[in-house]
């Protein structure tokens, strides 16, 4: 575009992300945060110090995950928008988890990834990811929700042995 890939374009994207977020246009905010994340990752904003750029990548990736998760919780998205939002969420989350991160943020991001598999009906992946969240983060909102979703996924898959084994594991670690 006319703005190319420079600072002006990145600043405009950041302003639009904030505007969309304030208007609760979560899909748009998440999509744009996702795009800005990968523009920065690819070297956009070269005038910026590398440490500042790395921090901006993490902040935008987390914003993308958060906003896309909110968008996916609404009933307003059509099937194509849901597929795209889930894929963008997982890609942003993967980038975020590959670097330095805050543990609370990491827990929320891991849960968001697991939830996308559950919502897509990809039950094998869902049980793997949800179990990991539940076991790694017991007695947290995400851990407890992941445990319940894991049990539900096993029930949907009619895997009664998986359901029983997971139920016992979760009881041992003290899921609340």
Q: Which helix (H) or strand (E) holds 110?
A: helix 103-120
Give the CB-side neighbour count of residue 18, counting CA atoms within 13 A: 7
Between CA 82 and CA 78 the distance in angstroms is 6
Between CA 106 and CA 53 the distance in angstroms is 20
Residue 3 reports pLDDT greater than 50: no
Provide the whole-model pTM.
0.78
46 — pLDDT class (breaks 50, 70, 90): low
Helix (H, G, I), strand (E, B) or coil at 139: coil
| Phi, psi angles (nearest 5°) of residue 114 | -60, -40
Share of the chain above pLDDT 70, in %: 92
Residue with tokens 């543990």: 103
Between CA 34 and CA 92 the distance in angstroms is 6
Residue 100 reports pLDDT greater than 80: no
6 — pLDDT class (breaks 50, 70, 90): low
Per-residue pLDDT averaged across 81-97, rounded?
Answer: 92
Higher pLDDT, 126 or 105: 126
Q: How many CB atoms lie within 10 A of CB 50?
A: 8
């Amino acid at each position: 575009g006319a703005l190319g890939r420079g600072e002006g374009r990145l600043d405009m994207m950041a302003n639009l992300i904030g505007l969309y977020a304030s208007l609760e246009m979560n899909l748009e905010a998440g999509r744009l945060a996702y795009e800005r994340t990968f523009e920065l990752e690819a070297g956009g904003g070269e005038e910026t110090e590398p440490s500042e750029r790395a921090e901006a990548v993490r902040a935008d990736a987390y914003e993308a995950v958060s906003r896309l998760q909110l968008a996916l919780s609404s009933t307003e998205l059509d099937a194509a928008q849901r597929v795209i939002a889930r894929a963008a969420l997982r890609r942003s989350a993967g980038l975020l988890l590959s670097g330095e991160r805050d543990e609370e943020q990491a827990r929320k991001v891991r849960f968001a990834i697991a939830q996308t598999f559950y919502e897509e009906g990809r039950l094998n992946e869902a049980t793997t990811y949800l179990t990991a969240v539940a076991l790694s983060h017991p007695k947290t909102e995400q851990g407890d929700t992941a445990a319940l979703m894991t049990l539900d996924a096993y029930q949907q898959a009619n895997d009664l042995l998986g359901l029983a084994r997971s139920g016992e594991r979760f009881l041992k670690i003290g899921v609340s």
